């Protein structure tokens, strides 16, 4: 199954968990065990959902740090989960070039979001790529992004 389809299926799962305020991994386990009327989740969709769940705090901090004026929690549910998928691919999946992650996110946004979302998503994901590219090379390249991003406590004091 194409990775584009897997991303859409991952988005559906993340969207549902977000809307229900349900633990992502418990919902994923339900969807794997009981796919219902849908075909079973593709392996890449499962990898995305697990990756986003595992790294969600860092992904959200990175998005908050790279965004101007919008915190992740204020974004629309579909927008923020498209951003989470692409950010996971940019930061944690070396098999997907950043440009491909951005293009795939834009394809989803153009069909699922309002007219302003693709430009916002493109700009924010470009900033994520630039932040990653600006990191010094280390064994774990995500450490530099994580250390440059304010903690949840820092963010609360900004409000």
SS (H, E, C) the chain: CCHHHHHHHHHHHHHHHHHHCCCHHHHHHHHHHCCCCCCCCCHHHHHHHHHHHHHHHHHHHHHHHHCCCCCHHHCCHHHHHHHHHHHHHHHHCCCCCHHHHHHHHHHHHHHHCCCCHHHHHHHHHHHHHHHHHCCCCCCCCHHHHHHHCCCHHHHHHHC
Given a cut of 80, is residue 152 above it in pLDDT?
Answer: no
Higher-pLDDT residue of 137 and 118 is 118
Dig out the tokens for 75 from the structure.
Answer: 């974004």
pLDDT at 137 (0 to 100): 58
Count the neighbouring beta carbons within 10 Å of the beta carbon of residue 135.
15
Dig out the tokens for 119 from the structure.
Answer: 């430009």
Given a cut of 50, is residue 139 above it in pLDDT?
Answer: no
Cα gap 56→103, rounded to integer Å: 21
Mean pLDDT of 120-125: 96
Given a cut of 60, is residue 64 above it in pLDDT?
Answer: yes
Q: What's the mean pLDDT when you consider all of the chain?
A: 87
pLDDT, one tens digit per residue, over 20-56 is 999 999 999 999 998 877 789 999 999 999 999 999 9
Higher-pLDDT residue of 156 and 47 is 47
Q: Are 125 and 100 in contact (CB under 8 A)?
A: no
pLDDT at 131 (0 to 100): 92
pLDDT at 1 (0 to 100): 54
Which domains, and CATH codes, for the chain?
Answer: 1-134 (1.10.940.10)
């Amino acid at each position: 199954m194409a990775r584009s389809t897997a991303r859409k299926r991952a988005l559906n799962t993340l969207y549902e968990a977000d809307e229900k305020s349900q633990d992502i991994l418990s919902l994923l386990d339900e969807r794997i065990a009981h796919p219902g009327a849908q075909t079973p989740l593709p392996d890449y969709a499962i990898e995305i959902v697990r990756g986003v769940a595992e790294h969600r705090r860092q992904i959200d901090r990175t998005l908050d740090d790279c965004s101007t004026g919008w915190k992740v929690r204020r974004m629309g549910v579909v927008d923020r989960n498209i951003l989470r998928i692409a950010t996971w691919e940019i930061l944690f999946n070396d098999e997907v070039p950043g440009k491909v992650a951005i293009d795939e996110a834009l394809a989803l946004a153009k069909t699922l979001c309002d007219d302003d979302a693709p430009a916002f998503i493109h700009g924010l994901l470009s900033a994520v790529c630039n932040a990653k590219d600006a990191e010094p090379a280390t064994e774990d390249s995500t450490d530099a992004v994580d250390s440059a991003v304010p903690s949840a406590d820092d963010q609360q004091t900004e409000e």
